[in-house]
Amino acid sequence: MSRDTSAANLSAPNYEFPRLPLAGFGLDLLLGRRRSFLKDSQRVMAANPYRRQVRGLENVPSEGPFVLVTNHYARRGLRIYHCGMFITTVIAERRPLSPDICWVITSEWYGYHLGPIPIPVRLIRWVFRRIGKVYGLVVMPRQASLAVGRAAVLRRIARIAQREPIGLMPEAGGSGILREPLEGSGLFLQALSERGLPLVPTGIWEEDDTLIVRFGEPFALSVAKKGSRQEQDRRAREQVMVSVGRLLPPAYWGHYREAIQRSPSEG
């Protein structure tokens, strides 16, 4: 299935957050008041009438929980949250009576600047925690040293995933060229898959001035329980990212190019 959801014909579109909703978002962020991520996503997409295209939407389950796994795509003028908002609005069209997708976001960014001014990581952490509270998102500690905190978050995700869809970008960074996800993400996705939750691979990228999202067929993650846990985790991450990579043009295969070339085609 392929359908065009676009309007304007501009090169390198510069996605923005509309000023009025941004002001309301800023106030709610300070006060910690809840907002609807779906409604804000719809407002942002409507305010940015650039060319967008959806492929394979029929592969998204029409009801019930699932785990969406997508690559991390971003550039100047198109932030990762724009991509998440695009996917959110598309899934809501497919599942209008089902719970909204609950995204898992990282706890911090490094080296972020507001113009020439560097933004302290502590401030970014506070903002991300607030965003999680305002939108009901799950904030995953990025530092591997925070093992106890990450374990608690993983348990929370597992509980949420039993009743509503979860959205993950396991690479937690990057411009769209595939790279290795965070260690441990493979075994975690394997555990969710073993609970009967279908994994929906998703690829997002741009062709000229068009932002494209492509959903693949749901699959169950199956990794042999042999070798070390680190090796099992690596194989699980590879299986997931190959499933995502097969949805992307070869220019985006990156770290998983050889694995994708070795994998059976979807036909």
Contact partners, residue 115, CB within 8 Å, separation at least 6: none
| pLDDT at res. 161 | 87
Confidence of residue 2 (pLDDT cuts 50, 70, 90): very low
Pairing relation of β-strands 210-215 and 51-55? parallel
Confidence of residue 7 (pLDDT cuts 50, 70, 90): very low
> pLDDT tens digit string along 144-198?
545 556 678 788 888 898 899 999 999 988 888 999 998 888 988 998 999 999 9
| pLDDT at res. 226 | 86
- Please tell me which residue, 203 or 161, carries the higher pLDDT value: 203
* pLDDT average, residue stretch 10-33: 84
| pLDDT at res. 102 | 94
Least-confidence region, from 6-15, 96-105, 258-267? 6-15
| pLDDT at res. 94 | 96
Q: Write down the domain spans for the chain.
A: 17-262
- Please tell me which residue, 23 or 216, carries the higher pLDDT value: 216
| pLDDT at res. 18 | 85
| pLDDT at res. 144 | 52
| pLDDT at res. 152 | 81
| pLDDT at res. 5 | 43
> pLDDT tens digit string along 90-145?
999 999 999 899 999 877 666 666 677 777 778 888 888 899 999 999 888 765 54
> pLDDT tens digit string along 65-96?
999 999 999 998 999 999 999 999 999 999 99
Domain 17-262, CATH: 3.40.1130
| pLDDT at res. 267 | 45
* pLDDT average, residue stretch 12-41: 89
